[in-house]
Chain A
Amino acid sequence: MNNSRAALATSVAVLAAIAVGIALLLAVGAPPFEALSLLVEGSFGSASKISATLLAWSPLILASAGLVVTFAAGLWNIGVEGQIIMGAIAASWIAREVPGPGWVVVPLTIIAGAVGGLVWALLAGVLKTHFRVHEIFGGLGLDFVAAGMATYLVIGPWKRAGVASTSGTDIFREETWMPEIEAFGVGWPVLPVILGIISVVLVWLLLRGTLFGLKLKAVGNNAYSSYLRGIPTNRYVLGAMAIGGALAGVAGTVQATAFHHKLVPAVSGGYGFLAILVVLLAGFSAVAIAPIALFFVAISVGGTQLDLRLGLDSAFAGVLQGIIVLFVLFAGAWAAKNPGGTMTPQEEP
């Protein structure tokens, strides 16, 4: 596809989505430009707000980077939500049970989170490769199981002393939190951001520069041809699930030990499904996910201001995200359908 044309279509789509957003704001009687400036101010208006945006950005790009790998292998890893939750549960278990200083426990929570997500993803993978359960159904089922498990732990075995409430477990010991660095009067989520950026770079390198990445792409585009070529397709499917799951699990760790500092039933924050949208908008490319994810979290984080200042439901931010996704996907389909003379030839003269 013609890249500049696609980029133009995407820009038009984003502008159109904002126009529809403004129309919606007018329809509910809210001042649209004040609302938009509140969105920006709410996400980037001060040091603490930028820090909050970055803290939300990190797990989103971790999960998105993982999904780029599974999409490359042709997998619809809908189970990413459950993988985030299992990562959070595994990290919470370490944070609750393992004594010792932060420099011992924090790395352990990250590893445990990765393993938790990996195991959950491999379950969906094995269901696909060995039991012919499509990854969408296997993954969706495992999402529900993981969510149920988190709720059970919160109100059951890990409930706060005396109270069984879905508001979460006891706060973890402070040493087990991902450390922040103080600057400009606020704490900065340096470790989550580093983890996120490393994951994006590694995934980009993996898919761009390695034989493993090329074979993943081959399996994703035509599994049967790849099998005949001698590529062990099942192993690559499981490998992609393992990588995707591990990164989602680390996203879960960030949610548990850097954001909530406890396990809550909705620990994933919906970042799994949001990450699917991010990757779709990024056109399955690793480099594009960072800015797109930032845009998404800015709307989410800034959206809370709409509630506080204009009395709009905070769900409005979600509506705006949804509109953007629909318009951009529509623009992508349009650009693919009207290639403007750049269509690939069926035959050459």
Chain B
Amino acid sequence: MALEIRDIHKHFGPVRANDGVSFTVEAGSLHGILGENGAGKSTLMKILSGFYGADSGEILLDGERIALASPAEAIDSGIGMLHQDPLVCLPLTVLDNFALASPGPVRIDRDDMRSELERVSADLGFEFDPSRLAGSLTIGERQQLAITRLMWLGAKVLIFDEPTTGISATQRLQLFATLRSLAEAGLIVLFVSHKLEEVEDLCDSVTVIRHGKVVYRADMPVPEETLVEKMFGKVFVEQDHDSVPLRDAMLQLSDATLQEGTTSIEGLDLDVAAGEVIGLAGLEGSGQRALLRACAGLLEPETGTLSVNGVNLDRCSYRDHLAAGVHYLPAGRLEEGLIQGISITEHLVLASEDKSFFVDWKKAERTAIDEIGDYSIKGRPNSNAEELSGGNQQRLLLAMIPDDVKLLLLEHPTRGLDVESAAYVWTRLLARRSSGTSVIFASADLDELLRYSDRIIVFFGGEVFAIGDAADLNGEELGYLIGGKERV
């Protein structure tokens, strides 16, 4: 059995997302699909899983042409997709979620389903409590549930789209083991990623996509430099972190008690100097967001005092924090940052200092063209936010940061971005340090934390676990701290 992709074309207006993609994957192999953001890999996977129709080209499974007009048809043909955010209906139980995909008659035999769930999950080495609500499962467990369901539906090809986002290190190991055993069992497993390390660890062979075309195809192992070169077209040189002389205190937080959800931070003292970069490390939901939201003025501390740039902000509104020069960029770029249905030009007008009642659209468009050039945004002045790729959305958000910002609060500033975009984001952020702007950012990327922070605050279980100078830490030590272990 083999999956054969033949000359797939998909255009979005003038944009050629897939421009003649062809490759073949044999059964029993774990195949990596590499490409930077916007290379066209997501489009291809959406075509394979029936979300989009291709403009032209065909897909053959086991030598037979298969129809992929909808996700249901794709699953019928044996192609199952596991999304980055697993498609699990959170208010339903595990069993109901499993039964939801049942193609059978109107009546659902719950006992029958329960034994099916147990059988399939036991084969895969997963364990579920069928009566538990899916909302209480971790992302990793939701993935396992989605895999179980796809296997039960008879998937022969499984597509994993960036499956390691948002899961713990242990779950990642477990996921990789599952992927290997699925491939060994004779399935075709496609692993889509832009994380080189994961593809190197896991895959038997790799296809690299760039600008909508297959540019490279090889069996692993392949030197990392080769992959980077194929992905980006040039070898990227990493930039080192140079420290800026620290000046006066920019943020002073003393004896703060923060309470949000399961997070409870007590008696936190934190002084951040002008120009300093503070990294917040820890597993997702360990308290980083509470600290950022407290500094932004979105979460009122139970006790303690907060001042920014000498301005006391206790019991002040979010808008007072903004006025004091605090700027917060949450993780959800399109949910909490940009506004769908509004163009780049309009976003820049909203962010501009010019508050005159009538908008000079000609001037605004000129400004937009300048900023698009300045920040290398791939888009036109009238492109709406949702038309931009993740990296370009982040660039637009950067362009919207006011010039005189004192304290920048960022949540996962480079999540989902390729290496080049991520480096670009940091070049822009670090440039602001020289004018005294302080940066506090939360990240799950150890490399990013170590490379760009002056100091790192490690959160564990809703508390501040450790604070240390980034220069004194290495990746292994930081990994231990995030896992809640003292430094060795």
Contacts and interface: CB of A to CB of B under 8 A. Distances in A.
A346 B43 contact: yes
Contact of A347 (B17, B55, B340): B17
B13 A341 contact: yes
Interface string B386-402: 11110010000000000
Interface string B171-211: 00000000000000000000000000000000000000001
Contacts of A225: 335-339
Contacts of B330: 228
B14 to A, nearest CB: 9
Contacts of B359: 209-211, 214
Contacts of A230: 319, 322
Given A209-B359, A228-B328, A348 B378 contact: yes
A229 interface: yes
Nearest to B351: A229
Contacts of A232: 319
A48 B255 CA distance: 79
B275 interface: no
A222 interface: yes
A74 to B, nearest CB: 10
B339 A221 contact: yes
A228 B339 CA distance: 11
B15 A345 contact: yes
Interface stretch (B125-133, B236-244, B341-349, B456-464): B341-349
Given A209-B359, A347-B40, A228 B15 contact: no
Contacts of B386: 344
A203 to B, nearest CB: 15
Nearest to A341: B11
B12 A209 contact: no
Contact of B349 (A211, A231, A343): A211
A286 B368 CA distance: 26
B211 A349 contact: yes
A188 to B, nearest CB: 34
B356 interface: yes
A217 interface: yes
Nearest to A230: B322
A212 interface: yes
B37 A224 contact: no
A215 interface: yes
A344 B337 contact: no
Contact of A214 (B328, B349, B384): B349
A211 B364 CA distance: 12
B94 to A, nearest CB: 30
A4 interface: no
A244 to B, nearest CB: 20
B250 to A, nearest CB: 20
Contacts of A348: 15, 17, 38, 378-379, 388-389, 392
B357 A210 contact: yes
Contacts of A210: 357-359
Contacts of B328: 228
A226 interface: yes
A222 B387 contact: no
Contacts of A217: 341-342, 346
Contacts of B480: none
A43 to B, nearest CB: 36
A191 B454 CA distance: 69
Contact of B43 (A212, A344, A347): A347
Contact of A224 (B39, B319, B335, B389): B335
Interface in B367-423: 378-379, 384, 386-389, 392
B424 interface: no
A230 B296 CA distance: 12
A210 B336 CA distance: 24
Given A210-B357, A341-B11, A346-B43, A224 B336 contact: yes
B438 to A, nearest CB: 19
Interface string B12-53: 110111010000000000000000011110110010000000
Nearest to B213: A349
Q: Which of A225, A341, A343, A348 has the most CB of B within 10 A?
A: A348
Nearest to A227: B318
Contact of B350 (A218, A224, A341, A345): A218
A228 B336 contact: yes
Contacts of A345: 12-13, 15, 17, 387
A344 to B, nearest CB: 4
Nearest to A232: B319
A209 B13 contact: no
A35 to B, nearest CB: 41
Contacts of B356: 211
A342 interface: yes
Among A217, A229, A349, max chain B CB count under 10 A is at: A349
Given A210-B358, A228-B330, A347 B38 contact: yes
A349 B16 contact: yes
B339 A218 contact: yes
Nearest to B339: A222
Contacts of B358: 209-211
A211 B12 contact: no
A232 B378 CA distance: 31
Given A212-B357, A218-B339, A228-B330, A347 B318 contact: no
B355 interface: yes
Nearest to B16: A349
B361 interface: yes
Nearest to A224: B336
Contacts of A229: 350-351
A233 B235 CA distance: 46
Interface string B287-313: 000000000000000000000000000
Contacts of B341: 217, 221
18 contacts: A211-B356, A214-B346, A218-B342, A221-B339, A225-B339, A226-B339, A227-B318, A231-B350, A343-B12, A345-B17, A346-B43, A347-B38, A347-B40, A348-B17, A348-B392, A349-B17, A349-B38, A349-B40
Interface of A: 209-212, 214-215, 217-218, 221-222, 224-232, 341-349
- Of all A-B residue pairs in the complex, the 6 with the closest CB atoms, nearest first, are A345-B12, A222-B339, A344-B387, A221-B341, A349-B212, A347-B38
Interface of B: 11-13, 15-17, 19, 37-40, 42-43, 46, 55, 211-212, 318-319, 322, 328, 330, 335-342, 346, 349-351, 355-359, 361, 378-379, 384, 386-389, 392
Given A210-B358, A348-B15, A348-B392, 17 more contacts: A210-B359, A214-B359, A218-B342, A222-B338, A224-B336, A226-B339, A228-B318, A229-B350, A345-B13, A346-B17, A346-B389, A348-B17, A348-B378, A349-B15, A349-B38, A349-B211, A349-B212
